[in-house]
Amino acid sequence: MKKVLMLLLLVISYALHTFAYDLYIDGIYYDANVEKGELTVTWGENKYNGAIYIPSIVNYKGKTFIVRKIGDNAFYKSNILSITMSDSIKEIGSAFYECKQLSKVKLSNNLETIDNSAFEGCTSLGEIIIPSSVTSIDYRSFSDTGLKKVVFNDGSKSLLIKMSLLGFGANDLPFSGSCIQYVYLGRNINCDALTNLYSYGVLFGGTVKKLIIGPQVSHIESQCTRDMNVEALTIPATLSSIESIDMPNLKRLIIKDSDKDLQIGSISQDSKNIKYLYIGRNLDTYRDLFNFYGEIDTLIMGLHFNDIKPIRGLKFTSDINNIFIYNSSWASKFQRDYSNFTSKTYLNGILHVPSGTVDKFKNAVVWKNFCDIREISSYDNDNNAKKCATPEIYYSNGKLSFTCETPDVEYISSIEDNDIGTHSSDIVSLCVTYNIKVYTTKPGYENSDIANATLCWIDVNPRSEGTVNNIIDVKAKPILITNRNGAIVVTGAEDGTKISVFGANGIQLGSSTSHNNTAAINTSMPRGSVAIIKVGNQSIKLLIK
């Protein structure tokens, strides 16, 4: 009933405003607000199709207008294949309802609001990247799509998730009906408290198999993670609170090392499949945290973990085979035995303790109940301070690749492009550039430092370029620029190409010749400096990171 009502409203709205546009320029229909000098993308006689680019500036009869919004029904059931938005766009209305062929969306980096049903029914859309500028996403904005991957870019602003005031429950969630499998959470998400989202359902659903929590996330509400089909979850050291961990198939939980407490509401009794639990920091909870019938095989209590508030929170009703304690202060934590572990754990489990503390644990309340207490082999106070090596970035044959000296790491990367900007002149200098960031993570290790690189394309022969039948022919060569241990490394230039590095003042700081498509120039430029890299006759300006 709800979906029929929504469709009816869209159809009525579309019918009432058909062809009521003000401008038609370069294949795009616009409504104009002349007083503000702003345009809203709308519809007209012909439905849109193919690849669509929404510009930031439109010039008409000597006046300059800024494109600010994509309006309701603008692309209603059209045959567009892709949409690229300039960074002037701040709002998307219910614009792309049931664009079933739409498979690629590039949102504006200044986008603030995504309204209800904006991309509902876009069944070919498999991935979406939500910029850090977005402050609110309304109900059913990405419902019933083909989304498999959702990335919320790192950002300090919280994102508000809204629901319909009509109260249609779980079907009103922004991603309902979309079988999302991968979520990168790069910022705090606040669910609309006025609509009691928790009682209606979950934000992403049980199809999610992988959740990555970014370094700028400080708090996670229970609706964001509840019922996910995740088997391995890592809580980063930067996270300060999480309302609950409620994942029925979770097998591996790692709470990374930190000297700051983690506020955690609960680990649900439904999360009974956890086999590996690593606790690297103190916990602040309001209930018996581990009082559930789990299947924990290995429990690791890291060097920075020496307290739970309240202390009764350390209570396990599952049988544990191996317990590793790296902080010897636990030997004196308990004044009474509250049966913190099962009898089978005391009888058959192995308690691994720091070197020289076996006797101390054998005489301590709770721990003396263990029949098998051993020293941790090759114990080192820096055991939990291991850090993943900084990865290196490579580009070849249209693909980025990463390598790391630390084995079996996971690579977390983000890419920002500077292709689209706001221009008002009749000549625009183009420079296709991607800024790449990547770090590595591994259970029991600290995250690596972030590696940065700039990937750009330089013209091979600018004088031979031109436009034929509205198609621009550009022959370009990809160049990857990285900063490795103070050396500027340029990859992709042909052998024998001279490569020079200049400071912002124009003084040359070093040069080299490309060999095996690679050149390295040692400089003393600190991070944050502006460098000009000259590759042959082409110059590239970038920020050293």
pLDDT recorded at residue 198:
44
Q: Are residues 393 and 381 in the same domain?
A: no
End residue of a domain, out of 385, 417, 452 = 385
Residue 207 lies in a domain: no
Backbone angles phi, psi at 471, to 5 degrees: -110, 125
Domain tally for the chain? Answer: 2
Residue 388 token pair? 């993943």
Model pLDDT, residue 246: 84
pLDDT profile of the chain (545 residues), mean per 10: 47 52 95 96 93 95 95 96 96 96 96 95 95 93 94 92 62 84 92 53 82 92 86 92 88 91 81 85 77 75 86 73 93 76 92 94 93 76 63 81 85 71 54 80 78 79 51 67 80 84 82 83 76 81 73
> Do strands 372-375 and 350-353 pair parallel, antiparallel, or not at all (unpaired)?
parallel
The answer to whether position 331 is within a domain reads yes
Task: Tell me whether residue 399 is exposed, middle or buried, using C-beta atoms within 10 angstroms of its C-beta: 0 to 12, 13 to 18, 19 or more.
Answer: exposed
- Residue 496: its pLDDT value, please? 83
| Residues 315 and 458 placed together within one structural domain of the fold | no
Question: 514 and 406: one domain?
Answer: yes
Say how many C-beta atoms besides its own lie within 10 A of residue 4's C-beta.
Answer: 8
Residue range(s) defining the domain that contains residue 326: 231-385
| pLDDT score of 268 | 73
Angle at 269 between CA 268 and CA 271, to 5 degrees: 70
Q: Within this chain, do residues 508 and 529 fall inside the same structural domain, yes or no?
A: yes
Residue 66, pLDDT score = 97
Is-contact 66 96, C-beta < 8 A? Answer: no
Burial category of 427 from C-beta neighbours within 10 Å (exposed 0-12, middle 13-18, buried 19 and up): exposed
Whole-number pLDDT of residue 158: 93
Q: What is the CA radius of gyration of the chain?
A: 28
Do residue 370 and residue 426 come from a single domain?
no
Rounded Cα distance between 443 and 276, Å, is: 11
Distance CA(397)–CA(418), nearest Å, equals: 21
Q: Tell me: do 354 and 469 sit in the same domain.
A: no
Kindly state whether residues 397 and 486 are assigned to the same domain. Answer: yes
Report cis status (omega within 30 of 0) of the bond before 526. no
Q: Are residues 287 and 353 both part of a single domain?
A: yes
Q: Tell me the two tokens of residue 45.
A: 């006689």
Are 241 and 273 found together in one domain?
yes
407/437 same-domain check: yes
DSSP 5: H
> Same domain, yes or no, for 456 and 341?
no
Residue type, 287: R
pTM above 0.95, yes or no: no
**Which residue type does 414 have?**
S
List phi, psi (to 5°) of 374. -130, 160
